[in-house]
Each structure stands twice: as C-alpha cells, then as structure tokens.
C-alpha cells in the first residue's frame, strides 16, 4: 500500500454512522482523500509517516458561523450593552473597513483556527474575497458570504444592486476551487428588506449555493419583526419561502414551538453559538429540544469580538454545560452529541457531509491529531469526555486539510504567524486611532 501521509498509533474517532472508535489505529491518505482506516497494514510505503503517539485522531472541526476578520476587533470594548457596543465601537469601525484590514484579520483568524483544530469555517462579513484569499493561503476549507443589508456597505457602497453583483462575482470567481465555497449572505430578517431576502433566494437558487443568515438572535429582533409583519422571524422567512435545507441559520435563540416545527419540516440547518449568546446576554437556544426533534444543530463561535476566540474545544465545553445548567439535568447534551455538532453536523449544515465531517475512506482528508500526553488529558478513560470537558485548542498537534499538512507539531506550515501578529498589531493601533 502506498500513501502520501500515514498516521499511525492513534486513537481514531471516525464520527461515522456507527461511531466507530479504533484503538491503535492507522489512517492512510492518498492525495486529497482518506484511502485507508484500520489496523496498521503489514506492508506500506508513505511519503510522510506521522506517529500520533496514542493521541486522538478525529475529523477536523467545523466552525459553522463566524465573521473571521473581526479578530482585529477582539476586546475593543467589553461589558457594555449590545446597543452601545455596536453604536459606539463596531459600527464606526466597520464604516472605515478596507480590504487590507479584512485580509489581515482573516489571516490572523486562520492561524488561530488551524492552531485550535478547525479545518472548515463558514463566514459572513465584508470584502469576503479577501477572506477567501486568506483561507486559500492558509489552506483552509470554507464557505463564505458577503453580508447584504439595507445600509451602506464599506465594500459595495449604498446600492444593493452592487451587493448582488459582488455576490455573483464571488460565486463565479471561486466556483471551481477545491477549498473555497461561496454562499449568499442576507444579514438578518430585520436588517434586510423583503426585496433583499427574495433576491438572495433567487441568486442562491440560480447558482445552487446555500444562504447564510442570522435568525431570532435576540428578543428585540423577534419583537421588531412581529411589529412589522405580525409574525415571528422564522414564520416570516417561511412565508417568503426562504426556509429550506440550504438555509444556514445562526443563533435561533428565541423560537416558538411552531418555529421549531417549521425549521424541522424544511430541514433548515441551525448553528448554535453558546459563548456569544451568553456574552451578549441574548438568551439560551432550545438546542436539546431541536436535537430531539431531529433538527441538524451545528456549532459556531460567531466573531471573535463577541466570544472572544475561535476555539471550538471551548465552545463544545460551554455548549454541553450551558444546557445542563439550563435544564438542571446533567444528562442533556452528552459528549458524543456535542462532538458530532462540531464535526459531522457542522459538515451537514454546510452541505459538505458527503466530503468531510467524518473519517471514512473516500472522504476528503481533513484530519486533526490531539496530543494527549499531557497532565490535563491524563488519564484518558473516554476520548469523547476528554475532548468536550478537558481538551483545549492548544492540544491539537497536527492539522491536515485536503490531504496537506497545515500544522506539524504545532508549527504552522502555510502561514508566517509572527508576521501576521505584527501586521495585526499595526492595524489595532490604527483602529484605536479611529476611535479617539
Ligand atoms: Zn454572527
């Protein structure tokens, strides 16, 4: 047998339908795909052999909702109301955004994501072509969308037609890329006119790409939409025929029973962002209820300015604990379910479950290896418990995306992290000057 990369001596969590776990397992990669999983073959040749050293081998994590250039706004202002935070800090800065700032912020986030086990992310922001370029440089898989709304955009200006044109151009530009995928990104039901929502659906159907939206994040949003249209945001989107298996809805915090039924009926994909919801005091999404209804609920961090990092290991830990305390029941959101949310359910949310999200022969080789030879990961009775309740992003030793090693023994292969940090610090000084 011949491989380009062989991983041996690993505790492999396949996250496949049977949830197979392979002790002392071997995973072979040929070009961009997984070509072998099982016991170590007696005879094989590989260009690179990685000794997992009894560490955990699992599918690369999927961050199903983020705004990665916002890493440059991390910690700009904290512990104030959402209204004050947006009006006094975020919006004034976003008015001055430019492509270079977005690019550096995106690179900084790509470095952070690779170093904490994320191999695929789903993004909405401005100047998204720069996000695509950064992802490409990092060797990361992504689904990106240009944020569309009623207000002037720092990228396409005040004519929404230019926003549609930019979206079409992005889709065309990246349509044959192996890593970069493009979606349509109407921001929210309350910041987008009916016209933008209808047009987004039209473009998404024309190109057969997903739609990314924020939905029912706050009580205020639900109130506003009810006053405007006499129905909940979910019912409003349903009446506009936006609910579909290709709709990726972030947050879904304030849902009625009927809203959840509509989400289920239309197979809408939900993204849970527990840390952001807690930090902004938005509320607790009914995730256990949605999961028990069979709704696909994935996991996201949201932007770094409201989290304040992109570490999905921390997000898994928080997701599990938030719902346990909320229900006063330690059995809800068990560890296996939470790991699924960050892997196979994330892939499903992005429409990529046939190619990523689990370790199976024939799937794309997006693989991470955790170094478990650490005090806080010893002993290791159950790998799922260790991942959700003990591990942190910094435990990821190797990351492989599309069959290429992007981090080896915690050294980034594709990105110059020192230069990126230096550039990011320079932009932070500029941002501080804008606010003064
Ligand atoms: Zn968001």
Residue 13 pLDDT > 90: yes
State in Å: Cα 1 to ligand 1 middle.
Answer: 45
Secondary element (H or E) of residue 3: strand 2-13
69 CA from centroid of ligand 1 (Å): 12
Tell me how far the alpha carbon of residue 231 lies from the centroid of ligand 1, in angstroms: 22
Task: Give the torsion through C-alpha atoms of 196, 201, 205, 211, to 10 deg.
Answer: 100
How far does the centroid of ligand 1 lie from the alpha carbon of residue 85, in Å?
15
Task: Provide the mean pLDDT of the chain.
Answer: 97
Residue 192's pLDDT is: 97
What does the alpha-carbon distance between residue 30 and residue 117 come to, in Å, rounded to a whole number?
A: 21
At residue 322, the pLDDT reads: 98
SS3 206: helix
**pLDDT tier for residue 124 given thresholds of 50, 70 and 90:** very high
Measured in Å, residue 378 CA sits from the centre of ligand 1 at: 35
Check if the beta carbon of residue 415 is closer than 8 Å to that of residue 408: no
pLDDT class of 83 with cuts at 50, 70, 90: confident
Q: pLDDT-derived band of residue 85, with 50, 70 and 90 as boundaries? A: confident
**What are the tens digits of pLDDT across the range 130-163?**
999 999 999 999 999 999 999 999 999 999 999 9
Task: Say how many Å lie between the CA of residue 68 and the centre of ligand 1.
Answer: 10
Q: What's the half-sphere exposure (Cβ side, CA atoms, 13 Å) at 354?
A: 1
pLDDT digits (tens, 9 = 90+) for 240-291: 999 999 999 999 999 999 999 999 999 999 999 999 999 999 999 999 999 9
| Distance (Å) from CA 303 to ligand 1 centroid | 6
Is residue 64 classed as helix, strand or coil in its secondary structure? strand
| Mean pLDDT of the 391-399 span | 98
Give the confidence band of 77 by pLDDT, cuts at 50, 70, 90: very high
Query: Distance between CA atoms of 218 and 281, rounded to whole angstroms?
Result: 9
Could you give the CA distance from residue 253 to residue 37 in angstroms, rounded to a whole number? Answer: 39
Output the six-digit token pair for 320: 């599990």
Looking at residue 88, the DSSP 8-state letter turns out to be I
Q: Residue 136 Cα, ligand 1 centroid: separation in angstroms?
A: 22
Residue with tokens 């509509």: 262
Ligand 1 centre distance from Cα of residue 49 (Å): 39
Task: Quote the ligand 1 centre to 47 CA distance (angstroms).
Answer: 41
Tell me how far the alpha carbon of residue 40 lies from the centroid of ligand 1, in angstroms. Answer: 43
242 C-alpha vs ligand 1 centroid, how far in Å? 18
What confidence tens digit (pLDDT) does each residue in 165-184 have?
A: 999 999 999 999 999 999 99
**What span, in angstroms and rounded, lies between the C-alpha atoms of 322 and 316?**
10
Output the CA 147–ligand 1 centroid distance in Å: 10
* Cα of 248 from ligand 1 centre, angstroms: 11
Annotate 336-381 with DSSP letters as a single string.
HHHHHHHTHHHHHHTT-TTTSSS--TTSB--EEEE---SGGG-S-S
Measure Cα distances from 14 to 393, 429, 436 in Å: 19, 44, 51
Q: Report CA(236)–ligand 1 centroid distance (Å).
A: 20
Whether 399 and 117 have beta carbons less than 8 Å apart is answered as yes
pLDDT at 436: 86
- pLDDT bucket at 385, cuts 50 / 70 / 90: very high
Q: Is pLDDT at 193 greater than 90 in this prediction?
A: yes
Domains of the chain: 2-58+368-412 (2.30.40.10), 61-349 (3.20.20.140)
- End-to-end CA separation in angstroms for the chain: 63
């Amino acid at each position: 047998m011949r491989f380009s990369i062989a991983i041996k001596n690993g505790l492999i969590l396949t996250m496949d339908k049977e949830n197979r776990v392979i002790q002392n397992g071997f995973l072979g990669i040929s070009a961009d795909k997984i070509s072998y999983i099982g016991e170590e073959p007696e005879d094989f040749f590989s260009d690179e052999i990685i000794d997992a050293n009894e560490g955990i081998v699992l599918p690369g994590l999927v961050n199903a909702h983020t705004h990665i250039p916002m890493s440059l706004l991390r910690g700009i202002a904290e512990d104030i109301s959402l209204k004050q935070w947006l009006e006094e800090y975020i919006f004034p800065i976003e008015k001055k955004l430019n492509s270079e700032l977005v690019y550096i912020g995106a690179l900084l986030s790509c470095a952070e994501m690779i170093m904490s086990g994320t191999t695929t992310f789903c993004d909405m922001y401005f100047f998204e072509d720069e996000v695509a370029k950064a992802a490409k440089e990092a060797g990361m898989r992504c689904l990106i969308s240009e944020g569309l709304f009623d207000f002037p955009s720092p990228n396409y200006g005040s004519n929404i037609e230019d926003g549609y044109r930019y979206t079409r151009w992005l889709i065309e530009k990246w349509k044959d890329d192996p890593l970069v995928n493009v979606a349509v990104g109407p921001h929210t039901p309350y910041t987008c006119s009916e016209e933008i929502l209808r047009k987004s659906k039209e473009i998404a159907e024309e190109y057969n790409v997903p739609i990314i939206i924020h939905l029912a994040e706050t009580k205020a949003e639900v109130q506003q939409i009810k006053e405007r249209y006499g129905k909940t945001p979910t019912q409003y989107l349903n009446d506009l025929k936006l609910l579909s298996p290709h709709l990726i809805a972030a947050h879904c915090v304030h849902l009625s029973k009927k809203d959840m039924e509509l989400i289920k009926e239309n197979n809408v994909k939900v993204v849970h962002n527990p840390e952001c919801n807690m930090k902004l005091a938005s509320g607790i999404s009914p995730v256990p209820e949605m999961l028990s209804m069979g709704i696909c609920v994935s996991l996201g961090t949201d932007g770094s300015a409201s989290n304040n990092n992109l570490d999905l290991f921390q997000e898994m830990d928080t997701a599990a604990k938030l719902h346990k305390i909320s229900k006063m029941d330690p059995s809800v959101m068990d560890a296996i379910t939470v790991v699924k949310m960050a892997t196979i359910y994330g892939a499903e949310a992005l429409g990529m479950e046939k190619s990523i999200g689990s370790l199976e022969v024939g799937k794309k080789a997006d693989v991470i290896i955790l170094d478990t030879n650490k005090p806080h990961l010893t002993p290791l009775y159950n790998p799922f418990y260790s991942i959700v309740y003990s591990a942190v992003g910094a435990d990821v030793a190797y990351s492989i995306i599309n069959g290429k090693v992007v981090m080896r023994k915690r050294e980034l292969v594709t990105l110059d992290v020192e230069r990126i940090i230096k550039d990011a610090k320079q932009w932070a000084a500029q941002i501080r000057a804008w606010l003064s």
